[in-house]
Amino acid sequence: MKRHVLLIFMASVLLSGCVEKEILDDLYLETGKAYDYVSENRIRGTAVFPIYMPDKSIENGFLSEEASSTQEVIEKIERRAQQPLVRGALDVVLIGEKLSEKGIIDIADSLQRDASVGARVFLIITEGDASDVIQGTYGNRGNGIYIYNLIEHNISKRELPETNLHMFLYDYYQKGQSSYLPIIKKTPDNNVAITGIALLSYDKVVGKIPDEDMFFFKIMVDRIAEGSHVIKMGKNPKKPEKNIEASVTSLHSKQKIIMNRKADPVKVDVEISIRGIIKEYTGDTLGAKQMAEVENRMKADIENKCNAMVKSFQELGIDPLGIGQYQKHGVRGFDLKEWKKEVYPKADIKVKAKVKILEAGTVE
């Protein structure tokens, strides 16, 4: 017994000697990265990491370098870092507007090959230069964590569809599916705001969903499990100077794509079901008649907006709904080139909505 205890003690001493100790205070934990276009073969990378001050406050540290590849940028930045720069805590990667139009797959590919980077890192497009956005002063926990929380909150509670590095790469490599990423910008009051959703053809940004239409985009490509939406009902007949609005909240939605592949052109129905309650209504009374009007108006808004969006997707030659995926799974010998050039642009795609108001709350 004593011999076994001695062996275990010796083994633990030897093994502990093999592990390199890393003290957090002696590292720079990179929480955010920004990449910008400089010239045809040159990009600029900016790393942000929190610096923990003696009074327990947190300041942002920045290091920036230019090079011809992401790996060379990393190497150059590390040569300037006072302490080892580790990427295991990386939360967000911002990509500048100009670089996003040139192509971002090199950056995404570099991230997925780094074993220290998680697949749930958020890829984000910025209005203007990404280095300008990341070098603000946001919140009190560091810029990387602040921007991560901004995106996470708007995915789970608001109109931003779910997205991350893994999902971007999955869509990129799929036949018949186009990617999309959130867009943010720095506001004049030195804050950050989500301004829309970037639409990509392969790895290049070719279009944008503005922030006021993100709700309609999300119910087509994702599902809402929470959140709210305001419906404008028109003028109040008794008070023409006022508009009637209904705020529908606690929204739950789901969507289904039904295809008739043998039709010519191919017929596609995108069926959206949505339920919610009226939290606020600015009209005089709110009874069964008014609730039915809210349902009809919301259904019309969804169908008008979503059908216009789908038409623009066909014109841009992109497919964020992944209709090509459905076609591929039902057609033997699926020809992606023929689908993109001949079939998808002419496809008869209709979005149909079912809206159910479950109950009504406050009347203002």
pLDDT in tens, 234-280: 877 777 778 889 999 878 999 999 999 889 999 999 999 999 999 88
Closest CA to 157 of 149, 169, 147: 149
Range among 32-46, 270-284, 325-339 rated most confident = 32-46
Tell me, what's the pLDDT at 171?
94
Tell me, what's the pLDDT at 25?
66
Residue 24 has pLDDT above 70, yes or no: no
Q: Which pair of structure tokens corresponds to residue 30? A: 């990179």
Terminal CA-to-CA distance of the chain, rounded, Å? 80
Parallel/antiparallel/unpaired status of strands 267-281 and 348-363: parallel
Query: Residue 68: CA atoms inside 13 Å, Cβ hemisphere, count?
Result: 2
Mean pLDDT of 104-121: 92
Q: Which residues contact 153 (CB under 8 A, 6 or more apart)?
A: none
Tell me, what's the pLDDT at 23?
61
Q: Tell me the per-residue pLDDT of 315-326, one tens digit each, with 9 for 90 and over.
A: 999 999 999 999
Distance CA 31, CA 143 (A): 8
Structural element, H or E, at residue 88: none
Closest CA to 43 of 7, 96, 85, 1: 96
Tell me, what's the pLDDT at 47?
96
Q: Are 343 and 265 in contact (CB under 8 A)?
A: yes
Parallel/antiparallel/unpaired status of strands 180-186 and 122-126: parallel
Residue 186 has pLDDT above 70, yes or no: yes
**How does the average pLDDT of the chain come out, rounded?**
89
Closest CA to 52 of 39, 65, 61: 61
pTM to 2 decimal places: 0.88
Distance CA 185, CA 192 (A): 6
Identify the band that residue 190 occupies on the pLDDT scale cut at 50, 70 and 90: confident
Mean pLDDT of 93-114: 95
* Cα 223–Cα 226–Cα 228 angle in degrees, nearest 5: 105
57 or 180, higher pLDDT:
180
Distance CA 170, CA 176 (A): 11
**E-strand spans in the chain?**
28-29, 32-39, 42-52, 58-67, 85-86, 92-95, 122-126, 180-186, 192-201, 204-210, 228-235, 243-260, 267-281, 348-363
| Total residue count of the chain as it appears in this document | 364
Report phi then psi at 60, rounded to 5.
-90, 135
